Every structure is written in C-alpha cells, then in structure tokens.
C-alpha cells in the first residue's frame, strides 16, 4: 500500500490530474468535461515531463564533455541521483512523510492565511526523502520521525510558495497561479538582486537585435544557436576521439554537437507547450477545490510555469547561472588549497538550466535585463556553495559523489541538521 501511494504521489502528471478531476467534480461539470479536463491536464504534464527529459538527456552529454575537456573531478549535484540512493534505505520513512506531509499542507491551506497547495509531486518526494535521511542521521526514529517530518514538509510546502508569490504577481500579472519548486530562496534572491541593480522596464523581452539578426527573436532559434556555441566549445575541449567513442556512437563530433544543441532547444519548446496546456486546464479546475475544500487556495506549480512569460530571460538566466557555477567551482578549488578535502561542486548543467532559467525570469521581473543576468549569476553561486554545507549533515549520503542541487534543499537541510545536533 505504501508503495502504491508513493507511486501515485510521486508522479506529477497523475497527482495534478487527480487535483483537476476533483476540482471539476466540485464545479459539478459534466462527465465529458471531467474526463476531458483530467486527461488534458495529465497530457500537459506528460508533455512537460517529456520536454524536460529531452533537455536532461541533451545536457548529460554536455556535462560529460565538460568534465572530460576541463579535467575536473568532483561532486555533481543531481536530485534524482541522490534520491535514488537514499530511497534504498529510507523508502518507507519517505513514503509516510510524503503522504502525511501533503495532508498537513492541505490543512495549513484550509485553516491559515497560507493558501497554497504544492503540486510539484517529484519535488515533494525529494524533500520528503532528504528530511527522512537527516532525521534518521540525527537519531530520530519511528512515529516521532514521521510526525516531525510530515509537519516540517507540510509547512515548507505552504511557506515557500508564499515567499515567491509577490514576484509571481509581477511575472504573471495576476494572482491565480503560485510557484512550487524547491529552489525558491535562490529565485527570491535573484528578484531582490534584480531590484537593486536593474530596471524592470528594460526587460529581456525588449532586446533590440540588429536587422540582420532579427531572426534571433525566435526564441527556439536563439536557444539552438547559443547552445551550439557551448556544445562546440566543450566538444573541442574534450576531443573528437572522446565524443565519437564514448558519446556519439561513432557519429562525427561536430554533427553530434549540432544535433544535441537543436535537441536541447526542442526540449525547451516542448516544455513551454506542456505548461500552456496544463495552465489552460488546471486553473479553472482548481477553482472548484478553492471554493469547497480550501477557499481562495492557489495551485503551486513547477518552475517551467514561468518560462512562457519571459522566454529570453530563460536562456539568459541559464547562461548566467552556469557562469556563476563555474566561478563558484574556481573559488572552491582555491579554498581547497587551504582546506584539503573540501568538496568541489561541479556546475551541474541540469540544475543550472532549470534553476538558472527560473532565476532569470524572477530577476527580469524586478530588474529587467541586468536583473536577469546578475540575479541568475548570484543564484548560480548559491547552488554551488550550499551543497558544500549540506553534505556533512547527510550522513553516509554525504560521501556519495552527488548531492541535492536546488537552494531550498540546502537551506532546509542545513537548518534541520544543525538543529538536530543542537538538541542531541
């Protein structure tokens, strides 16, 4: 039964589809409308997930070429990898914390002013897993572990969307949708940095390209060309022999780079299409829940929900965050000379894409182009240094060559781990 619950709640498409179905039933829609809304919501999330999968696959080869070309070994933050390891040991605790944590989230939304229901199922799973791991390492067991973990998870699921909502109103121009992705601290920091250094009136979406470069207004084409330059750099750095032997299956390394760059852009295009489909269905359906179970509740949705509002900021944010990750890595390498054994956090391309792109949109909302660049850069530094401080509180998981990547995992994990040390 626990495995069945975990399978349902950890699949965002099914979770959000169920939410949509409940909302449509609450609105007393016809059977045909309920089926259509539910299926289209699930379809939108599957499209979104498919696009994300394409992006991740394209970026995995980029990351491999980067490590090979620049000969740097270290820890690569990757949520899926660390969770897969942790679930082997903490699977039951994770399932219980996740299930009851979602109940706590609904109760908080129902009876407090935090009217946010967190719908990003896979991030809920990841956070539940990290909380379970740290509680076990801290000596908490049994029922107490589930109670503490569930209360903490439910609280986090309600608070972080509330923190992001002021900027979300600026991004979306409304208050119907909330933000549900556990790197909120980084995004809010990006928005704050943007407000200090930039001008929101000079947005990334108003970039004036020369007449000969007007074709770059097509965001898909712009992403393809920028990524092609990056892929060619790391391909030449790692060498044709490595690319063709280890990655491309014998395909010429330049042809492989071109295809991977365009594949990446295709994945981004698919993500945007999935977001639009989900929003078209989930917002009307969610009003049914808001008017019955949780008055005035807002759905907190995964980070690609903001991408359509500033497509140029998505690419700018990714590049700025990645540069921040490289700078952070170089700083750690210098510090390592004085503190041997310090974990060297390599710039994981996947977190820098999703988190950096989102940070770019948040920074753009408050500071325009300068805000997107500087805010995403600082966010890139943040997700480089936080994992260094997080790894010691993860117990045996801290010795793995990967760790949790996004900012909120670092903040929550560091605070929880040190609090447990204080009370022991």
Residue 214 has pLDDT above 60, yes or no: no
Return the pLDDT at 185.
Answer: 96
User: Mind giving me the DSSP string for 341-386?
Assistant: T---B---HHHHHHHHHHHHHHHHHHHHHHHHHHHHHHHHHHHHHH
| Terminal C-alpha separation, the chain | 34
Residue 179: beta bridge partners? 301
Could you tell me what percent of the chain has a pLDDT over 70?
90
- Cα–Cα distance between 379 and 235 in angstroms, integer? 26
pLDDT at 399: 60
Beta bridge partners of 116: 298
Element (H, E) at 44: helix 31-70
Sign of dihedral through CA atoms 79, 81, 83, 84? Answer: positive
Write down the pLDDT at residue 424.
66
- pLDDT tens string 289-344: 666 778 888 889 888 889 989 888 988 998 899 999 999 999 998 988 887 777 88
Across 262-266, average pLDDT: 86
Distance of CA 257 to the CA centre of its chain: 25
Interhelix angle 219-238/311-336, rounded to 10 degrees, is: 30
Instruction: Give the model's pLDDT for residue 56.
Output: 74
**What is the mean predicted confidence (pLDDT) over 76-105?**
80
Q: What is the pLDDT of residue 355?
A: 93
pLDDT at 27: 80
In sequence order, the β-bridge partners of residue 345 are 75
- Does the structure show a pLDDT above 90 at 180? yes
- Say what the pTM is: 0.78
Residue 37 CA to residue 31 CA, distance in Å, equals: 10
The pLDDT tens digits for 188-202 are 999 999 999 988 888
pLDDT band at 234 (very low <50, low <70, confident <90, very high): confident
Q: How far apart are CA 14 and CA 234, in angstroms?
A: 38
Q: Helix, strand, or coil here: 206?
A: helix
For the ranges 148-152, 181-185, 275-279, which has the lowest average pLDDT? 275-279
Tell me, what's the pLDDT at 217?
A: 57
Cα–Cα nearest to 304, from 345, 358, 342: 358
Separation between Cα atoms, residue 381 and residue 361, nearest integer Å: 17
For residues 23 and 15, the answer to whether their CB atoms sit within 8 Å is: no
């Amino acid at each position: 039964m626990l495995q069945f619950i975990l399978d349902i709640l950890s699949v965002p498409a099914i979770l959000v589809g169920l939410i949509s179905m409940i909302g449509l039933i609450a609105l007393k829609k016809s059977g045909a409308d309920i089926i259509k809304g539910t299926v289209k919501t699930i379809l939108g999330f599957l499209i979104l997930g498919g696009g994300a999968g394409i992006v991740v696959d394209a970026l995995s080869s980029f990351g491999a070429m980067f490590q090979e070309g620049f000969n740097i070994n270290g820890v690569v933050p990757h949520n899926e990898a660390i969770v897969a390891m942790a679930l082997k040991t903490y699977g039951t605790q994770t399932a219980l914390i996740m299930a009851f944590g979602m109940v706590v989230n609904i109760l908080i939304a129902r009876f407090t002013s935090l009217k946010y229901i967190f719908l990003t199922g896979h991030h809920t799973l990841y956070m539940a897993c990290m909380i379970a791991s740290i509680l076990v390492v801290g000596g908490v067991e049994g029922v107490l572990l589930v109670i503490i973990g569930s209360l903490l998870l439910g609280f986090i699921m309600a608070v972080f969307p509330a923190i992001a909502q002021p900027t979300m109103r600026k991004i979306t121009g409304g208050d119907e949708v909330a933000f549900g992705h556990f790197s909120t601290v980084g995004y809010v920091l990006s928005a704050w940095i943007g407000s200090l250094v930039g001008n929101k009136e000079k947005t990334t979406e108003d970039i004036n390209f020369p007449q000969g470069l007007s074709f770059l207004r097509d965001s898909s084409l712009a992403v393809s060309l920028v990524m092609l330059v990056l892929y060619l750099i790391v391909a030449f750095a790692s060498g044709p022999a490595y690319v063709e032997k280890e990655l491309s299956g014998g395909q010429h390394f330049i042809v492989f780079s071109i295809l991977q760059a365009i594949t990446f852009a295709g994945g981004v295009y698919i993500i945007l299409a999935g977001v639009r489909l989900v929003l078209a269905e989930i917002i009307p359906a969610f009003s049914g829940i808001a008017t019955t179970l949780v008055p005035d509740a807002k759905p907190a949705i995964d980070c690609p929900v903001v991408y359509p509002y500033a497509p140029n900021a998505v690419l700018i944010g990714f590049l700025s965050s990645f540069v921040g990750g490289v700078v952070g890595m170089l700083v750690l390498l210098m510090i390592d000379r004085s503190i041997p054994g310090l974990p060297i956090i390599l710039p994981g391309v996947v977190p820098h894409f999703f988190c950096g792109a989102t940070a770019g949109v948040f920074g753009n909302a408050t500071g325009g182009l300068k805000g997107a660049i500087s805010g995403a850069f600082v966010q890139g530094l943040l997700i480089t240094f936080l994992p260094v401080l997080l790894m010691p509180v993860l117990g045996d998981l801290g010795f793995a060559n990967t760790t949790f990547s996004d900012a909120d995992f670092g903040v929550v994990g560091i605070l929880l781990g040190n609090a447990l040390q204080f009370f022991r």
